[in-house]
C-alpha cells in the first residue's frame, strides 16, 4: 500500500475539520454525534478517527485554530481588525466560537485544555495591549487586565449576537464607536468637553 503523504493527510484533516465545524455550529457540541459527523464529512467513523483521537479533540483543534486566527488578525491589524473579522465571519465559525464559550462555563476539563493551548496567544495579546496603552493606541487610565477583559467582552458579545442572527445595521459606525471608547486619549482625562460648563456647587444655604 503506498504511503500517504503529509500533504494528503493535512488535506484530509482539514476536510474533516470543515465538516465538523458545520456540524458543531448546527447541532452544538452534544448534538453533533459521531453519526452526524460521519454524514457531514462523508466518511466512516474509522476514517475520521484515523486523524483524531476523539470528538473532543476535533472540537478543541477547531477552537485552537480559531483562537490563533483571531489573535493573529488582532496582533497584525489591531483590535478594530479583530472586530471586523468577527462581524464578517462565516456563521459556522461563529457557531463554534459561541459553543466554545458555553463549554468554558460548563466543562472544567475543556476549560483547562483550552487555557493550556491558548497560553502563547494570550501572552502575545497581553503584550500588544501593554504596548498599545503605552503608545496611545489604547486608553491607559485602566489596568491592562481591565482593558483585556473589556476587549474580550466586546468580541464575545459581538460573536454571540452574530450567532443569534443579529447584525448591526451600520457596522462601520459601531466600529468607530468602539474605537472611540477604547482609545480615549490619556491627556483628556479629567477635562470637560469643549463648550461644556463645570457643574455648579450648591452653597450650604441652598441645601
Q: What's the pLDDT score for residue 200?
A: 45
Q: Is residue 171 part of a domain?
A: yes
Give the closest residue to 87 by CA, choosing from 160, 181, 183, 147: 160
- Contact between residue 133 and residue 198 where contact means Cβ atoms under 8 Å apart: no
Domain region containing 167: 56-184
Q: Is the pLDDT of residue 190 over 80?
A: no
CA distance 81 to 155: 11
Q: What is the mean pLDDT of residues 179-201?
A: 55
Give the closest residue to 155 by CA, choosing from 112, 98, 106, 76: 98
Q: Is residue 28 part of a domain?
A: no
CA distance 155 to 151: 6
Q: Is residue 93 part of a domain?
A: yes
- Contact between residue 118 and residue 64 where contact means Cβ atoms under 8 Å apart: yes
Q: What's the pLDDT score for residue 3?
A: 60
Judged by average pLDDT, the poorest of 73-87, 106-120, 129-143, 164-178 is 106-120
Q: Is residue 95 part of a domain?
A: yes
- Contacts of residue 125, defined as CB under 8 A and 6 or more positions apart, other chains included, come to 71, 74, 75, 148
Phi, psi of 162 (to 5 degrees): -65, -40
Q: How many CB atoms lie within 10 A of CB 59?
A: 23
Largest CA distance in the chain: 98
Q: What is the mean pLDDT of residues 177-182?
A: 93
Judged by average pLDDT, the poorest of 16-20, 27-31, 96-100 is 96-100
Mean residue pLDDT of the chain comes to: 86
Q: Is residue 134 part of a domain?
A: yes
- What CATH number has the domain bearing residue 88? 1.10.357.10
What are 180's three cell numbers?
A: 472611540
CA distance 118 to 135: 26
* 3-class SS of residue 178: helix
Judged by average pLDDT, the poorest of 46-55, 121-130, 189-198 is 189-198
Q: What's the pLDDT score for residue 89?
A: 82
Q: How many CA atoms lie within 13 A of 171 on its CB side?
A: 14
Q: Is residue 150 part of a domain?
A: yes
- Contact between residue 122 and residue 165 where contact means Cβ atoms under 8 Å apart: no
Give per-residue pLDDT as tens, 121-175.
Answer: 889 999 999 999 999 999 999 999 999 999 999 999 998 888 888 889 999 999 9
Domains of the chain: total:
1
CA distance 23 to 66: 16
How many helices and strands, by DSSP H and E, does the chain display?
Answer: 10, 0
Q: Is residue 4 part of a domain?
A: no
Q: Is residue 62 part of a domain?
A: yes
Amino acid at each position: 500500500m503506498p504511503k500517504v503523504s503529509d500533504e494528503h493527510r493535512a488535506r484530509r484533516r482539514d476536510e474533516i475539520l470543515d465538516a465538523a465545524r458545520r456540524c458543531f455550529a448546527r447541532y452544538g457540541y452534544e448534538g453533533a454525534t459521531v453519526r452526524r459527523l460521519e454524514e457531514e464529512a462523508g466518511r466512516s467513523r474509522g476514517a475520521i478517527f484515523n486523524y483524531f483521537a476523539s470528538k473532543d479533540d476535533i472540537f478543541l483543534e477547531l477552537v485552537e485554530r480559531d483562537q490563533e486566527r483571531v489573535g493573529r488578525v488582532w496582533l497584525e491589524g489591531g483590535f478594530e481588525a479583530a472586530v471586523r473579522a468577527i462581524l464578517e465571519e462565516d456563521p459556522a465559525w461563529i457557531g463554534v466560537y459561541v459553543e466554545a464559550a458555553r463549554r468554558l462555563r460548563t466543562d472544567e476539563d475543556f476549560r483547562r485544555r483550552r487555557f493550556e493551548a491558548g497560553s502563547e496567544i494570550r501572552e502575545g495579546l497581553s503584550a500588544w495591549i501593554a504596548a498599545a496603552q503605552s503608545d496611545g493606541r489604547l486608553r491607559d487610565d485602566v489596568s491592562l487586565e481591565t482593558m483585556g477583559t473589556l476587549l474580550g467582552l466586546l468580541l464575545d458579545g459581538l460573536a454571540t449576537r452574530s450567532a443569534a442572527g443579529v447584525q448591526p445595521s451600520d457596522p462601520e459606525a459601531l466600529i468607530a464607536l468602539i474605537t472611540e471608547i477604547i482609545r480615549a486619549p490619556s491627556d483628556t482625562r479629567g477635562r470637560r468637553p469643549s463648550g461644556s460648563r463645570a457643574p455648579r456647587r450648591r452653597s450650604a444655604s441652598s441645601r
